[in-house]
Amino acid sequence: MPPVRFGAFLMLHPAEEQFAIARRVDELGFDSLWTGDHVSFHGAIYESLTLLASYAGITTRARLGVGVYLLALRHPTVAAKISSTLDVLSGGRLIFGVGVGGENPKEFEACGIPHRERGARVTEGIDVVRTLWRDSPASFKGRFTEFEGVSIDPKPVQKPSPPIWVGGRSDAALSRAGRQGDGWISYVVQPERYKQSVAKIEAAAEAAGRSLAGFEKAHLTFISVGKDYESAERVWVDRLSQRYAQDFGPLARKYGIIGTPAQCAEQLQRFIEAGCSYFVLDAICDAADEARQIEIFAAELFPKFRNA
């Protein structure tokens, strides 16, 4: 069984607080530091790769992940340039998570991208980015992007390239992960569906003639640790209902990792049994409590899994 790894997915804070928490995540031994991505959202959100670039100079060991970059909203050539630069400046620490998004059609409208094309654009965009990361000069001919003899330098530090993790729950996303991904990151699924999804990814990889050696199976984990289940659940429901502008009350017992450290560990173990080996922990709490939650994760959860 592969070792269990942990990332920290941080919420938005004023700059100095953001940097202080990022440094602490690095010090505590988290394997990675994460952010989400939207151009326009229900609430304030930093631009993802800009934020990760700001972490590159203030952290030394944690990998820097975006979960997930809405590649359809950007020209993939520009995305390749920015992400390559970030990998170089961070010393080869980028994890480039990509996905289709789509829950906020207005941001597609604002970017001039037809909502219905988002899946096809991401599938092609992954190939464009990898081609530009790898080749000098590079050429590509696709439905949305075409160029000949173009070089983007410097190339990423990581060889053959930074890992691309595909996000999503749909069959199309799982197929994309199996055919093109170096990893998969899920969200808002139960362990049973997680296990079924892994099987679909494996089937897609086999059909494409790909090996999944080294493939990472991750889960974006909405987690609230508290003195008991009930108080943690109240915080979980309140914060996520505000974040996504919908009622998360009916979803808590299905999708939350909630309760005391021991209860949360039991719930994480079910995902491990379903095939997950990488948890990106998103502390669902008031912003002022995030740093304390992260300390609890490191003190109470890491030993249960890393020493097993």
Pairing mode of beta strands 32-35, 63-70: parallel
pLDDT above 70 for 308: no
Which pair of structure tokens corresponds to residue 28?
Answer: 């505590």
- What's the gap between Cα 55 and its chain centre? 16
Tell me the one-letter amino acid at 79.
Answer: A
Residue 306 pLDDT: 83
The CATH code of domain 5-306 reads 3.20.20.30
**Sequence-ordered list of residues with C-beta below 8 angstroms from that of 185, at least 6 positions apart, any chain:** 67, 68, 97, 165, 166, 167, 218, 219, 220, 278, 280
Global confidence as pTM: 0.96
Contact 184, 194 (CB under 8 A): no
Contact 103, 118 (CB under 8 A): no
d(CA 195, CA 48): 29
Q: What is the pLDDT of residues 174-214, one digit of tens each?
A: 999 999 999 999 999 999 999 999 999 999 999 999 999 99
Rg (Cα) of the chain, in Å, rounded? 19
Percent of the residues in the chain that have a pLDDT greater than 90, as a whole number: 95
SS3 267: helix
DSSP H stretches of helix in 157-190: 171-180
What is the mean predicted confidence (pLDDT) over 250-256?
96
CA-based nearest residue to 96, from 126, 74, 72, 121: 126
> How sure is the predictor about 1, in pLDDT bands with cuts at 50, 70 and 90?
low
> How sure is the predictor about 58, in pLDDT bands with cuts at 50, 70 and 90?
very high
DSSP character at residue 249: G
Q: What is the pLDDT of residues 90-141, one digit of tens each?
A: 999 999 999 999 888 999 999 999 999 999 999 999 999 999 999 999 999 9
DSSP character at residue 72: G
pLDDT above 70 for 55: yes
Contact 52, 94 (CB under 8 A): yes
Mean pLDDT of the chain: 96
DSSP H stretches of helix in 208-287: 229-244, 252-255, 261-273
d(CA 159, CA 177): 20
| Helix, strand, coil tally for the chain in percent (to 5) | 50, 20, 30
Given CA atoms 283, 252, 164, 152 in this order, what sign does their dihedral have?
Answer: negative
pLDDT above 70 for 290: yes
Query: Which value, to the nearest 10 degrees, does the dihedral of the CA atoms of residues 111, 114, 115, 116 take?
Result: -160
Peptide linkage before 68 cis (omega within 30 of 0): yes
Residue 53 pLDDT: 98
